[in-house]
Amino acid sequence: MPVAAVRSLLSSTVQRMLPHRPHHLDLLMEQCELAVETMDVLADYMHDGDPAKAERIHELERKGEMMRFRHATSLTGLYTKPRGREDFIRAIRALDGVMDYCRSTVHEMEDLGVDPDEHAQVMARHLREGVDALRRGILALKEHPELIGAEVQLAMKVQRAVDKCHQRAISELLPPGSEEHFFGAGSDSPPQLARISAAIKRRELYRHLSHTAGHIGRVGQVLRHLAMQAT
């Protein structure tokens, strides 16, 4: 048998014997797919407050945490360039942060007794659009890096849209002149503690959703940097 044929046979045999090593972009896509699923459930939860959906979000976040650790370990062996490895780990951590804030948002709503409202629904809808854009961006990075710009721009646009929704929600929650609403008309009027408490709780809900958008923006920035390296 020719030497080249022997080498080819040995190489194919070794490859079959060795465990499969996924591509680094496959790991990133797997983490993103889980974030998309989590965000889908959160967007639905913001419409009905279903406790079963809240529990599903908790389950997905725990799964995402284990996945993040496993992927970070895998990347150590897959990617030899430290800078490239750091970029992928940053993206995976930010995606895990998206899921973590989904969980903490639901957790706060359950503990504080806050029901979803229209502002939360709009922000959750924007967030779902953002993670969808990230998923398409990762796919573009794998197949056509030159096309990733539009998806990254959309993810960054979603972050700005959520920030604007957050500002609008807070301005409606605490409008100018709202002191009388919370503290009464006169200096001797007792504070309206129930109203103050409700406003603080709802502000926490808006804050968590805004921070989720920040993690989406971080992933978009990493994807942009990776695309620049690939082209």
9 located within any domain? no
Domain residue limits at 66: 20-230
6 located within any domain? no
68 located within any domain? yes
Predicted confidence at residue 82, as pLDDT, reads: 52
119 located within any domain? yes
Rounded CA-CA distance 129/43 in Å is 10
* CATH number, domain with residue 220: 1.20.58.220
> pTM (2 decimals)?
0.81
Mean pLDDT, each 10-residue run in order, the chain (231 residues): 50 41 76 95 95 96 90 66 72 92 94 93 96 93 82 91 94 69 54 75 93 93 82 63
Task: Give the count of domains, the chain.
Answer: 1
Residue 64 contacts residue 38 (beta carbons within 8 Å): yes
Type of residue at 149:
G
Predicted confidence at residue 36, as pLDDT, reads: 96
Rounded CA-CA distance 117/123 in Å is 10
Predicted confidence at residue 10, as pLDDT, reads: 42
5 located within any domain? no
3 located within any domain? no
Rounded CA-CA distance 204/2 in Å is 71
8 located within any domain? no
Coil, helix or strand for 185?
A: coil
